Amino acid sequence: MNNIPNTIFSVNAPDFEEKVVKASFEIPVLVDFWAEWCGPCKALGPLLERIVISYGGKVALAKVDVDANHELASRFGIRSIPTVKIFLDGAVMDEFVGALPESDIRAVIDSIASDGTADLLANAEKLFEESQFDEVESVFTDLLEREPGNTGALIGLSRLKIIKGDEAGARQLLCSIQETDVQYEEAKTLIGALEFFKICKQHGGLKKSLKGSEKNPGDLEARYILGCCYAAENSYREALETFLSIVRKNRQFGDDKARKAMLTIFAVIGSNSALTAEYRKQLAMEVF
pTM of the entire predicted model = 0.61
> Catalytic: 41?
yes
15 and 106 in one domain? yes
> Catalytic: 38?
yes
59 and 141 in one domain? no
Residue-by-residue DSSP string for the chain: --S-S-SEEE--HHHHIIIIIIGGGTS-EEEEEE-TT-HHHHHHHHHHHHHHHHTTTSSEEEEEETTT-HHHHHHTT--SSSEEEEEETTEEEEEEES---HHHHHHHHHHHH--SHHHHHHHHHHHHHTT-HHHHHHHHHHHHHH-TT-HHHHHHHHHHHHHTT-HHHHHHHHHTS-TTSTTHHHHHHHHHHHHHHHHHHHTT-HHHHHHHHHH-TT-HHHHHHHHHHHHHTT-HHHHHHHHHHHHHH-TTHHHHHHHHHHHHHHHHH-TT-HHHHHHHHHHHHHH-
229 and 207 in one domain? yes
Which of 69, 96, 113 delimits the end of a domain? 113
Q: Domains in the chain: how many in total?
A: 3
41-97 tens-digit pLDDT: 999 999 999 888 878 788 999 999 999 999 999 999 999 999 999 999 899 999 999
140 and 84 in one domain? no
State the pLDDT confidence band at 114, using cuts at 50, 70 and 90: low
Domain that holds residue 178: 117-187
Residue 192, domain member (yes or no): no
100 and 135 in one domain? no
Residue 2, domain member (yes or no): no
Which residue is catalytic, options 41, 200, 228, 229?
41
Which of 113, 136, 162 delimits the end of a domain? 113
227 and 134 in one domain? no
CATH number, domain of 222, equals: 1.25.40.10
Across the chain, mean pLDDT equals 91
Which residue is catalytic, options 38, 200, 228, 229?
38
84 and 60 in one domain? yes
Q: Identify the pLDDT of residue 3.
A: 36
270 and 214 in one domain? yes
State the pLDDT confidence band at 120, using cuts at 50, 70 and 90: confident
Which of 113, 144, 160 delimits the end of a domain? 113
129 and 88 in one domain? no
